Structure 1
Amino acid sequence: MRHTNRSAVTVAFSVFLTVCLLQCRALAWEITKPLAEGVSFTQIVTEAPAKVINIVTVDPKFPGAIIKATSAGETMHSASAFRGKATVSTAARRLGAVAAVNADFFIWQSGYPLGLLVSDGELKCEPYARRTAFAISKNGEYLFGRPYLEASVTAEGGASRPLGGVNRLRGKNKIVAYTRAFAVSTHTNAEGTEVVVCTSHPPRPGEPISGTVKEVRASKGNTPLGEDTLVLSSAGAGAKWLEENLKPGTNLTILFNLKSDDGKDWNSIAEAVGGGPRLIKDGTIVNSAKEEGFGTSIYTAAHPRTAIGTTSDGKVLMVTVDGRQPQSRGMTLQELAKLMLGKGCVQAMNLDGGGSTTLATAYGVLNSPSDGRERPVANAVAVLGTPLKGDAGTEIKIDVPTHPVEAGSICRLLLVDPATGQPVSESCAKDTIWSVEGGGIFVDQSGSFTARTARAYTITARYKDRITTRQIEVAAGPPANMTPLLEEVSGEEPCASQVTVTVWDAFKNPVKDAKVFIKVSGGTPEKGEAITGSNGRADAAITWDSEFIGVFEVEVSCGNLKKTLVRPAKKSAGTEQNPL
């Protein structure tokens, strides 16, 4: 069902239309909007089964429509709590991207991407376990394959040793190369050896690096990283080789070769990200999850998904499918593969999904991340594009409510002319891109949103080069659940307890100013009525009657919610009460 045309909505209802409760919403539509020259955004919403699908289509034949692989943060690692991870919208803002999606899986604790990352021709991480990767060559060719790294360091005397990785957590025996793309230092401990090498250029697939050893740091770690240096680091046998063969002033050659089982030239790539498993190969759906070392659940269970694919006419599709939410259950990999094939992809691969699945612009999030907010990730695939110019004289403004919107409501935003207060033209409304800063609330591309988590949200509407931002407050809905807790107060005479009641709405928001009634059997409450605070809690002290023989109970109620708590049985006058 398509939404009512904005121009038909009267000004009296210009702020919001509360359509219905969440469970009553019926949706089935597809909207396509321009993001930049050669870049479009399509949103598909279906009701049975419930799915929200977002597709960014890039036509590189348009000048300025460029696809980039990038670390999400400024560097791949840092001392911050996120360890170098950052949100997709952060990466989009840094690059000025018109769209970006999350890319590779990553190690949760360290934030390192699991597989290949090449950005602007620089090798920042090597492939992992021959899993599928997507790449763009320097001449614009798209590659999907399972590359692997062959790398080595060779001293001027001829001694040579393989390299085990690039910008990775250092293990024993293997030599890892660290560059400035990793962090400001290697973040290693002192249980190894690190060699500082002055280099001609950063690691690039297929291009030998000529370097000279500047310093050998035995039993030292956390070596600073510079723009024109590279650090070779190892422990165990690898450290011994470094100490024996590399001295200050030693000239050496470092080579990073990317190879693939299919024989294609991966040394010519300019941009690349890892992921997997492969979804489509040469126009046919494939299932390589087991071959690539994935568990069965990634293929058979429905999850939020991110994917990338290419069409026979040279377009690139970046796709997200929301999941784990009422409006979108997610997809299995088989369903995702069918979707990509149905949209014209002849090659496609899966990227990291679940709570990582994010589609964002420099102005905010376009999809609905399942964590309820953007998850910091390791890297992203971003799209740069030539901005579209708005019509002369067109200005936009979002009407916002003067009161908080109740969680559980589905509301529709309206875009108006700030000078007249009248709805904007149909073409302007049709091409406006809606986004939310940081996620947490989903505004679809019809301008409707479902209020769930109670807090303030910043919503952006962008029509070509016209941008407007407003804040909307979501408040908790009516009480839907209640959690009471009865605790003994030690050391009190006469014997006392405290009852604490937390009231929640249907979306687990704490409900403020809810009336809670308290009745006690075998004692006296401090008060018979309590009001919940901003945390949804109300409490009252209870003094128990030491002479009472019977069942000690506390009954709490809030609206039509009612629960009874039983105090553990006590002995009185030599008589033991019946256990409850």
Structure 2
Amino acid sequence: MIGGRSGGVCVHRRLRDRLQALVVCVICATVFCWATAAPNLAWRSLDALNAGLPPGVRVYAGEDPKLPLRAWYVSVARGEDSGRVEVLVSDDPADRRETVSSFAADTGACVVINGGYFTMERTPARHAGLLVVDGVIEEPATRSAVRNDLRYPTARAALGLTPTGFDIAWATSREGSLQAWSAPPPHRQGSPAELDPGTSTPWNVEDALGGGPALVSKGRVRVTTNEEVFFGTAIPYTHPRTAAGVTAAGTLLLLLVDGRQKESRGVRLEELAAIMVDLGAEEALNLDGGGSSSLVVQGQLLNNPAGRGEEREVMTALGVFCD
């Protein structure tokens, strides 16, 4: 009887060990399945356009016909032989929005790409998130978001411009000052968290453009959809995309992926992040996308916005000046 029980215990333990091993295998397989590889976009230099740009500003196009995907990116190096980057805000008196082509024509910027989120249903438009121009906070950072009657304090990703370079941070604003955070609050859906006041530092930037979520942190894919409270929105789905990133050398990357058309399906945030890592980004964030995604270089619209062939009017943009 005792021997029988002992044998049963041994069988039970062997079965338990095998089940535990199986669970580990399943978890590992799941992790690798979710690891997103960058599409093979076979980037090529657009020499005809680059011939008219400073050496520090280069434009590239890429395509993966198997997915299918079409994309473009602009690299803006630091230095005197490069371009000057500014946050552009529409001054249209009627609705405070205009096309990216209009931004380029009005300002003379050699490269213009659409910027941050804005309220499409409001006239005049209002920026949705942090907007800083010439050191003045035009629109404060979003302080919190409500989902299912729960309030989540927010620190969303933003691109900052300084006289010496570019920075991407989880940012907040309060009483005329900006703070950069080492990490956003560790929110989970249905479980709000708090900002840790000991993890912020003053963020000294001249221009800033809020977006989100962050895509890349310390050279690795880190899409902070939950932490920045973008769950419960359509933002994580497959869309045309605009993103900005910064390399270890301080080069600014401006990326656009077409979508909602036969030639290019668009990408999920994880795919967008993988492309940014493949391009060498140390930090990167998602900007306004969908029908807003437009890229103009030397007066030429490079992409086909949302497959419609016409540009949406937007409130903000990033302009590269090559004078």
TM score, norm. by length of structure 2: 0.72
CA contact (8 A) 1:59 1:315 kept: yes
Choose 355-364 or 288-297, whichever is displaced more: 288-297
Matches within 5 A, 1:522-533: none
Counterpart selection for 2:295 from 335, 359, 364 = 359
Encode CA deviations 1:367-424: one digit per residue, 9 max, x unaligned.
Answer: 11014310001100111114xxxxxxxxxxxxxxxxxxxxxxxxxxxxxxxxxxxxxx
Residue aligned with 1:341, SS = helix
Is residue 120 of structure 1 aligned with residue 144 of structure 2?
no
> Which residue is equivalent to 1:323?
259
CA contact (8 A) 1:93 1:362 kept: no
Compare relative contact order (CA 8 Å, sep 6+) and give the higher one, 1 or 2. 2
CA distance in 1, matches of 2:285, 2:42: 26
Is residue 56 of structure 1 aligned with residue 74 of structure 2?
yes
After superposition, the Cα gap between the structure-2 partners of 1:64 and 1:32, relative to the gap in structure 1 and judged at 3 Å, is closer
CA contact (8 A) 1:299 1:334 kept: no
Which structure: larger Rg? 1
Is residue 305 of structure 1 aligned with residue 226 of structure 2?
no
After superposition, the Cα gap between the structure-2 partners of 1:299 and 1:375, relative to the gap in structure 1 and judged at 3 Å, is closer
> Which residue is equivalent to 1:32?
45
CA distance in 1, matches of 2:233, 2:130: 23
Is residue 96 of structure 1 aligned with residue 111 of structure 2?
no
CA distance in 1, matches of 2:311, 2:283: 28
Deviation at 1:121, TM superposition (A): 2.5
Counterpart selection for 2:98 from 86, 92, 95 = 86
Amino acid at match of 2:142: Y
Is residue 106 of structure 1 aligned with residue 125 of structure 2?
no
Matches within 5 A, 1:412-423: none
CA distance in 2, matches of 1:106, 1:369: 17
- Higher strand content, 1 or 2: 1
Residue aligned with 2:206, SS = strand
CA contact (8 A) 2:114 2:293 kept: yes
CA contact (8 A) 2:223 2:273 kept: no
Counterpart selection for 2:181 from 255, 261, 279 = 261
Counterpart selection for 1:68 from 82, 86, 107 = 86
Deviation at 1:141, TM superposition (A): 3.9
Deviation at 1:116, TM superposition (A): 1.4
> Which residue is equivalent to 1:374?
311
CA distance in 1, matches of 2:173, 2:135: 15
> Which residue is equivalent to 2:189?
none
Amino acid at match of 1:357: S
Deviation at 1:326, TM superposition (A): 0.4
CA contact (8 A) 1:298 1:333 kept: no
CA contact (8 A) 1:90 1:362 kept: no
> Which residue is equivalent to 1:137?
162
The count of corresponding residues between Structure 1 and Structure 2 is 248
Residue aligned with 1:269, SS = coil
CA distance in 2, matches of 1:344, 1:260: 23
Matches within 5 A, 1:219-238: none
CA distance in 2, matches of 1:298, 1:67: 29
CA contact (8 A) 2:119 2:127 kept: yes
Deviation at 1:306, TM superposition (A): 0.3
> Which residue is equivalent to 1:415?
none
> Which residue is equivalent to 1:406?
none
Deviation at 1:64, TM superposition (A): 5.0
Encode CA deviations 1:344-380: one digit per residue, 9 max, x unaligned.
Answer: 0010000011000110135231111014310001100
Residue aligned with 2:156, SS = coil
Runs of 4+ in 1 over 4 A off after TM superposition: 296-300
Choose 42-51 or 86-95, whichever is displaced more: 86-95
CA distance in 2, matches of 1:316, 1:261: 21
TM score, norm. by length of structure 1: 0.41
Deviation at 1:300, TM superposition (A): 4.7
CA contact (8 A) 1:30 1:44 kept: yes
CA distance in 2, matches of 1:101, 1:366: 10
Instruction: Please list every run of 5 or more consecutive structure 2 residues that lacks an aligned counterpart in the other structure.
Output: 1-40, 144-154, 183-199
Amino acid at match of 2:53: A
Q: Sequence identity of aligned pairs in percent?
A: 30
Deviation at 1:74, TM superposition (A): 1.7
Deviation at 1:296, TM superposition (A): 5.7
CA distance in 1, matches of 2:135, 2:88: 11
Deviation at 1:93, TM superposition (A): 1.6
After superposition, the Cα gap between the structure-2 partners of 1:29 and 1:287, relative to the gap in structure 1 and judged at 3 Å, is closer
CA contact (8 A) 1:98 1:383 kept: yes
Residue aligned with 2:291, SS = helix
What's the Cα RMSD here? 2.0
CA contact (8 A) 2:77 2:252 kept: yes
CA distance in 2, matches of 1:63, 1:141: 14
CA distance in 1, matches of 2:138, 2:81: 27
Encode CA deviations 1:409-444: one digit per residue, 9 max, x unaligned.
Answer: xxxxxxxxxxxxxxxxxxxxxxxxxxxxxxxxxxxx
Instruction: Please list every run of 5 or more consecutive structure 1 residues that lacks an aligned counterpart in the other structure.
Output: 1-27, 152-255, 387-580
Amino acid at match of 2:102: T
CA distance in 2, matches of 1:336, 1:114: 21
CA distance in 2, matches of 1:336, 1:361: 21
Amino acid at match of 2:291: G
Is residue 42 of structure 1 aligned with residue 42 of structure 2?
no
Deviation at 1:260, TM superposition (A): 2.8
> Which residue is equivalent to 1:435?
none
- Higher helix content, 1 or 2: 2
